[in-house]
Every structure is written in structure tokens, then in C-alpha cells.
Structure 1
Amino acid sequence: MARPLRFPFKRLVAFDQQMLDAIEAWRRQQTPIPSEADAVRQLLAKALRLGSDQTK
């Protein structure tokens, strides 16, 4: 039996070099260092939480 997908929805996202460098710098400050995919998910989740806090 196949294991269930943790993230069943996939998206292709393009970044410029400046954004990739910023993501990489953020990743290197985390313990443990997340994968690039996890880093993008974490940063996006943080941005969405901050955005929803500002609209209240």
C-alpha cells in the first residue's frame, strides 16, 4: 500500500537570483536547516500569518 502524500498539491514557482539568495540565507539561519521546499513553505506561512494579523 502506498503511503499518503504529505503535500498532495504541487506548484511550479519561479524565483529570481535575489529571491533565491534570500531564501538560502534564511535557511542557513534555521536549526535544523530545512530543505528549500520546506523553507519556502515556512516563509509563505509566516507571510500569510503576518498578513492576516495586519487585516484584523
Structure 2
Amino acid sequence: MAKPLTYTNKVLIGFTDEQIASVDAWRRAQSDLPNRSEAIRRLVEKALDGGQTSN
């Protein structure tokens, strides 16, 4: 079994209940159902890439 990715930089941020619900709805629509942290990483990357990231 492959070792999972380790992220060395941790950031504590707050979300409203509505924001978490939106993140959860987005992640459930993904074919591989990422966990919440991975979903947030993907959404941030997508925003930084101008929306060009797939998934």
C-alpha cells in the first residue's frame, strides 16, 4: 500500500455552516469522493488556477 501524501504546512481557518455545506456538496459530486480537507485543497487550487483544474 502506498504511503499517503503528507502535508507539512497546516492552516487553521474558520468556515460558516453554509460554506461547509457547500464544500460537502461539491466533494460529494466528485467521482472519487475526496475527504473534506482534500476537497478544500482542490477548490483552493482550482481558484488559484483560474478554475482550470479538473475534477
Please confirm whether the aligned pair reaches a TM-score higher than 0.5, indicating the same fold. yes
Structure number with higher helix proportion: 1
Residue 21 (structure 2) aligns with: 21
TM-score, reference length from structure 1: 0.78
Give the drift of 1:6.
Answer: 1.8
Aligned CA RMSD, in angstroms, stands at 2.1
In the alignment, structure 1 segments of 5+ residues that lack a partner are none
Structure 1 distance, partners of 2:39, 2:13, is 14
4+ residue stretches of structure 1 with deviation over 4 A? none
Residue 7 (structure 2) aligns with: 7
